[in-house]
Amino acid sequence: MSQPKQLDSPLYALVHGENVRGFNNERPQDSQIDFRGGDFRGLDLRLLNASGIDFTDAYFRAADLRGLDLRESKMEGASLAHAQISGAYFPPELSADEILMSVNFGTRLRYRTR
């Protein structure tokens, strides 16, 4: 199993330093952002523009994701252990049960097959 990692990216540095407004201002609007496997544990990400971010296999233990719109983000394999998710939108490929299992037990998010 992969471990959370610090990513070598100026955009990641802004998010990891909880400069969410700076990230939102600097992010490219026309391309996807690669945050795969990133360490977002304990961060306050409430105002993050998460559209088009690839959070595959990322760690969000105890992160504050309240009110985030993650519908256009990739979340497969991410772990939400003890994250605050009130009011957050998740990709439609994730069931409510899958999200709760991840929050309560730290399981990796699995997309449902259609």
> pLDDT (tens digit, 9 = 90+) per residue, 66-110?
999 999 999 999 999 999 999 999 999 999 999 999 999 999 999
Looking at residue 13, its pLDDT comes to 97
53-54 and 33-34: which strand pairing?
A: parallel
Q: Could you give the C-alpha distances from 63 to 18, 48, 81, 114, in angstroms and in order? A: 11, 12, 9, 30
Element (H, E) at 5: none
CATH numbers and ranges of domains, the chain: 1-109 (2.160.20)
Least confident window among 27-31, 39-43, 80-84: 27-31
Residue with tokens 């957050």: 88
- Residues with Cβ < 8 Å from 23, sequence gap 6 or more? 11, 14, 15, 48, 49
**How much is the CA Rg of the chain, to the nearest whole Å?**
13
The model's pTM is 0.93
| Average pLDDT over the chain, rounded to an integer | 95
